[in-house]
Structure 1
Amino acid sequence: MMWRLEAIGCAAVGMLTGMAIATGILIRQNQRGELVGQRFAGNNQPVAADRRCPAPSGVR
């Protein structure tokens, strides 16, 4: 039972982290006035990598 809760919690943390990273990128792009799409497409991979279960480095 516990492992299931842990996996769910980890996925939630990963998704939240990914969303926060994506949002931060978009906000930063908009402030600089650059094209959002270009840089965002390049930054998709690290966001996806953060969804794996060892929690991302910033989140403990």
Structure 2
Amino acid sequence: MKRQLEIMFHNPNEEEEMATYLSVFLADILVTKALEEPKKFWELITLLVNGGEIEDSSLL
């Protein structure tokens, strides 16, 4: 199921607002992945914590 995340900010060129936008966007992706596919989410987190590279794009 595809979801759309809408975030509004005043000035997309401002670094702080863009950082906030990207943080919210990434958090939403991670929470969605954790809820939809907990096993793949755990594999992704374990891989990243151990300094591995993501070779299986389905983890994203």
Q: Normalized against structure 2, the TM-score is what?
A: 0.46
Higher RCO (CA < 8 A, seq sep 6+): 1
* Higher share in helix: 1
Q: Normalized against structure 1, the TM-score is what?
A: 0.46
